[in-house]
Structure 1
Amino acid sequence: MPKSRLLASATIPDTDVELKLHEHGDRFAISIPGRGELMNTRVHGSEIALAERACARLAGKASPRLLIGGLGMGFTLAAALGSLGPGAEVVVAELVPEVVDWNRDLVGEPSGHPLRDPRTTVYVGDVAECLRRPGSKFDAILMDVDNGPEGLIRVENDWLYGPSGLAAARAALRPGGELAIWSAGPDERFTNRLRAAGFEVATEVVRPHRSGKGAKHVLWFARDRS
């Protein structure tokens, strides 16, 4: 059994919740004491699926502009960059400054150091601020924040998945744009909320493990009906 080594810790803004970054042999993991691992560098299939599926829906756009809510271990960002051409721009918003630092210095190698890609712009702060910014438009918005609409650690994130947040996301999309959302589990009420907000909705169940085993994560893909 590989020995676990604590590398760093950080507190999520507006909470008393502490993130712990550990090294476990050949992998890194971010966890919350008492709640277990949130993510690690070995299991990330559903994050990659979120980015690849969303980018596939942008086929034909020469210079797409994307917003990703949540950096995590960098795999969503890396998969998006790998699916897009040289003219793309990807803004990644990460609430916890230390998570950005960890990706630059400690855990960037497993995902291929996507923060070094010149197409990447990092916004350190709440992704909600990017959605509310006047004149800021995106071809796709990918949300990998908390554990999804119902698995919230930070109560302020409830806005993102509620009517006001969905309206802001819709307003921030260019015509034909896509809103893609990751969740640790299903939520039929959220599907209905997306439809009520004016989106056409498709869902997909994906496995985080490359073996196809383990938990079932849910992806929503929503497009403006107007």
Structure 2
Amino acid sequence: MGRLFEQIDSQPSEIGEITLRRRRIPALGDRDIFEVKLGEEFLMSSMFVDAEVALSDLGIGEAEGDNLSVVVGGLGLGYTAVAALKHERVGELLIVEYLEPVIRWHQQEYVPLGKDINADARSRYVHGSFFDLAVAGPESGGFDPEAPGKEFDAILLDIDHSPRALLNDSNASFYTAENIRRMAGQLKPRGIFAMWSNEGEDSVFMEVLRDVFTEVVCHVVSFYNPFQNRESFNTVYVARKPG
């Protein structure tokens, strides 16, 4: 058995030191667990990815048509992106990531799913702030630097812990009807916006979504947490643009 703990990389970023680690917990089986930390805060662990996968499955499952153009906001450990690529209807996937070290970890395949993303010609990394590109609107270029003004079939967001628990205070302005509506300007008619959250349904955010979209649903995604020896849950919001 290899080492029980390894720090793979640690780099400064625009919002603090970001670190990639690998560990093994013998009581939980002989497998590598990858973790991402921002300063002293845990951002993600490969132990708990059910809702990250469900974000793609639920969002893309509601998208209409074939040859779908999809945006994933937030790369993390790659689980949402790889889950999206498993859908044959996806024709292209733009992965928007603010932190350049996170993109490099995948490009250099320091994380296991980097290989899957890099090998799929449908995927492309975009280094930039999802929130800035979202609210800038298609008239200012939008999410795709190679196709300004492009509209997408689905936008999948997994960055903040929830609409209230933010990685950066500056993100708060995104979760308003005005800026959600600006982001929706980059969706095709009847396109899908889906978002992961670490918390239960937020009634205020649901009203914001209903002000912009139709068919707004908050799904509960349950999973077993061995550290607490009980079921835990995340949520996935899914909303459709009128068309």
What's the TM-score bracket when you normalise by the shorter of the two chains? 0.7 to 0.9
Runs of 4+ in 1 over 6 A off after TM superposition: none
- The C-alpha deviation readout for 1:133-180, integer Å capped at 9, x for no partner, is 332210000010121211101122223322232011211110110000
Alignment-derived partner of residue 3 in structure 1: 4
C-alpha separation in 2, matches of 1:48 and 1:215: 16
After TM superposition, give the deviation of residue 208 of structure 1 in Å: 4.6
Alignment-derived partner of residue 192 in structure 2: 178
Give TM-score scaled by structure 1 length: 0.88
**SS in structure 1 of the partner of residue 8 of structure 2:** strand
**SS in structure 2 of the partner of residue 7 of structure 1:** strand
Match of 2:84 among 73, 80, 83: 80
After TM superposition, give the deviation of residue 12 of structure 1 in Å: 4.0
Alignment-derived partner of residue 157 in structure 1: 171
C-alpha separation in 1, matches of 2:12 and 2:166: 15
C-alpha separation in 2, matches of 1:208 and 1:38: 18
Match of 1:143 among 143, 152, 157: 157
Alignment-derived partner of residue 144 in structure 2: none
Structure 1 residues 206, 2: closer, same or farther in 2, change over 3 A? Answer: farther
Alignment-derived partner of residue 218 in structure 2: 203
When the two structures are aligned, how many residues end up with a matched partner? 221
- Structure number with bigger Rg: 2
Percent identity at matched positions? Answer: 24
> Structure 1: 5+ residue runs without aligned partners?
none
C-alpha separation in 1, matches of 2:48 and 2:107: 20
Give TM-score scaled by structure 2 length: 0.82
Structure 1 residues 33, 143: closer, same or farther in 2, change over 3 A? Answer: same
**RMSD value over aligned CA atoms?**
2.4
C-alpha separation in 2, matches of 1:111 and 1:155: 29
CA contact (8 A) 1:183 1:217 kept: yes
Alignment-derived partner of residue 118 in structure 1: 121
Greater shift after overlay, 20-29 or 104-113?
A: 104-113
Match of 2:58 among 53, 56, 62: 53
1:27 equivalent in alignment to 2:25: no
Alignment-derived partner of residue 216 in structure 1: 233
Alignment-derived partner of residue 100 in structure 1: 103
Alignment-derived partner of residue 191 in structure 1: 206
After TM superposition, give the deviation of residue 100 of structure 1 in Å: 0.5
CA contact (8 A) 2:106 2:114 kept: no
Structure 1 residues 193, 167: closer, same or farther in 2, change over 3 A? Answer: same
C-alpha separation in 1, matches of 2:39 and 2:102: 17
